[in-house]
Amino acid sequence: MFASCSNTLRVDSWPIEVLKENSEYIPQSDEKISHLSWCNDNSYMAILQQGEKPQILSIKDLSNIRTVHTINDHNISSVVFKKGTKKHLAMGTKNGDVMIYDTKLRSISRKFVKLTSPIEFLEFSYDDLQLAALCEDKTVVFYTEADGKVNNEYKHGAKCSCIKFHPSALNKMAVGCANGYVTIWDTKTNSKMYNCQLHSQAVSGISLARSGNFLISVGKDHKVCVTDLNSGECQFRINLNVPVNTVDLRFDDKIIGVGLDDGSVYLYDMNFAVQPLSCLRQHNSPVNIISFANFSRDYIETESSISTVTSIQDHISEMRMTSPKTGLTNNSDPLKNVKRDFLQTVKNQTDELEGQLVEHCKKFQVFINNEFKMINDIMQDKWELFGASDVNKLLQSAESDFCDAEKI
CB proximity list for 165: less than 8 A, separation 6 or greater: 123, 124, 125, 126, 130, 132, 172, 173, 174, 208
Per residue in 238-252, is it b (16+ CB within 10 Å) or e — as a string? Answer: bebeebbbbbbbbbe
271 and 352 together in one domain: no
331: pLDDT confidence band, cut at 50, 70 and 90?
A: very low
- First-to-last CA distance in the chain? 67
Nearest to 273 by CA among 247, 310, 313: 310
- State what percent of residues in the chain have pLDDT above 70: 77
Q: What is the pTM of this model?
A: 0.71
Question: Which pLDDT score, from 0 to 100, does residue 379 have?
Answer: 75
The answer as to whether 365 is a domain residue is yes
Count Cβ atoms below 10 Å from residue 289 Cβ, excluding itself. 21
Residue bearing the bigger pLDDT, 367 or 292: 292
The answer as to whether 333 is a domain residue is no
189 and 89 together in one domain: yes
Biggest CA–CA distance in the chain, Å, is 102
Q: Residue 394: is its pLDDT beyond 70?
A: no
Question: Which pLDDT score, from 0 to 100, does residue 264 have?
Answer: 93
27 and 120 together in one domain: yes
398 and 266 together in one domain: no
User: How far apart are the C-alpha atoms of 6 and 27, rounded to whole Å?
Assistant: 11
Question: Which pLDDT score, from 0 to 100, does residue 365 have?
Answer: 81
395: pLDDT confidence band, cut at 50, 70 and 90?
A: low
124 and 269 together in one domain: yes
48 and 196 together in one domain: yes
**332 CB-contact burial (10 Å; exposed 0-12 / middle 13-18 / buried 19+):** middle
Q: Residue 247: is its pLDDT beyond 70?
A: yes
The answer as to whether 70 is a domain residue is yes
44 and 148 together in one domain: yes
80 and 208 together in one domain: yes
- State what percent of residues in the chain have pLDDT above 90: 54
The answer as to whether 319 is a domain residue is no
Structural domain that includes position 380: 338-402
Long-range contacts of 229-234 (CB under 8 A, 24+ apart): 229/184, 229/193, 229/194, 232/194, 232/196, 234/198
Q: Are 299 and 42 in contact (CB under 8 A)?
A: yes
How high is the mean pLDDT of the chain? 81
In three-state secondary structure terms, 179 is coil
The C-alpha angle 142, 207, 302, rounded to 5 degrees, equals 105
Nearest to 203 by CA among 229, 235, 225, 233: 225
The answer as to whether 75 is a domain residue is yes
Query: How many distinct structural domains can be found in the chain?
Result: 2
Question: Which pLDDT score, from 0 to 100, does residue 262 have?
Answer: 93
Domain end residue (candidates: 265, 294, 323): 294
The answer as to whether 116 is a domain residue is yes
The 10s digit of each residue's pLDDT in 4-53 is: 999 999 998 766 544 445 688 999 889 999 999 999 999 999 999 998 99
Question: Which pLDDT score, from 0 to 100, does residue 286 have?
Answer: 95
Task: Name the most confidently modeled range: 64-73, 303-312, 339-348.
Answer: 64-73
287 and 398 together in one domain: no
Question: Which pLDDT score, from 0 to 100, does residue 378 have?
Answer: 75
Residue bearing the bigger pLDDT, 383 or 125: 125
405: pLDDT confidence band, cut at 50, 70 and 90?
A: very low
192 and 99 together in one domain: yes
Identify the CATH number of the domain in which residue 165 sits: 2.130.10.10
C-alpha 68: how far from its chain's center? 27
